[in-house]
Amino acid sequence: MILGCYVGPANENDREGVKFGLKNMVKKYSNVKKMWADMGYVGKDLKTALCKEFGIDLEIVKRASRRFWVHKDIPIEELPQVESGFKIQPRRWVVERTFGWLGRYRRLSKEYDLLNSSSENNIYMALNRLILNRFYV
């Protein structure tokens, strides 16, 4: 279930856009206390602003580090071991799954609309259709 949506211009930074999206969401859902985000939202300023303005604790879900710097004199045996293969990251799959659901709708595959509000409404309609199909089909 989607609580809020904001479609902004392409030249707007994600950290600025999240504030507009939360303003729309907090009007309806004032009891939200926790938000998970990816590495695009890293920054102490954003975390303190969201906590102060909306009362929401921002938690960044990080991917496992695959690259690291090592001095040339360190022997191979002392290098950190990187586990290969797929690992499920906590809460990271929620966003990717939602984007996968939205990708099934032709109307959202390309940007046909002139207004951002039309794109937002198409996202709401697609996710509402998904929920209705799960409960009534």
Return the top range by mean pLDDT from 24-33, 47-56, 109-118.
47-56
> Does residue 57 register a pLDDT over 90?
yes
Residue 50: which pLDDT band, with cuts at 50, 70 and 90?
Answer: very high
**AA identity, residue 51:** C
pLDDT (tens digit, 9 = 90+) per residue, 84-98?
A: 777 777 777 777 788
Burial class of 92 by CB neighbour count within 10 A (0 to 12, 13 to 18, 19+): middle
pLDDT value of position 48: 92
pLDDT value of position 44: 83
Pair of tokens at residue 45: 């300023």
Can you tell me the distance from the alpha carbon of 98 to that of 95, in angstroms, rounded to the nearest whole number? 5
pLDDT value of position 4: 82
Q: What is the mean pLDDT of the chain?
A: 83
Can you tell me the distance from the alpha carbon of 133 to that of 28, in angstroms, rounded to the nearest whole number? 24
DSSP string, 49-69: HHHHHH--EEEE-PPPP----
Can you tell me the distance from the alpha carbon of 39 to that of 84, in angstroms, rounded to the nearest whole number? 21
User: If you average pLDDT over residues 54-58, what whole number do you get?
Assistant: 92
pLDDT value of position 66: 67
**Domain boundaries, given as residue ranges, for the chain:** 14-64+85-136
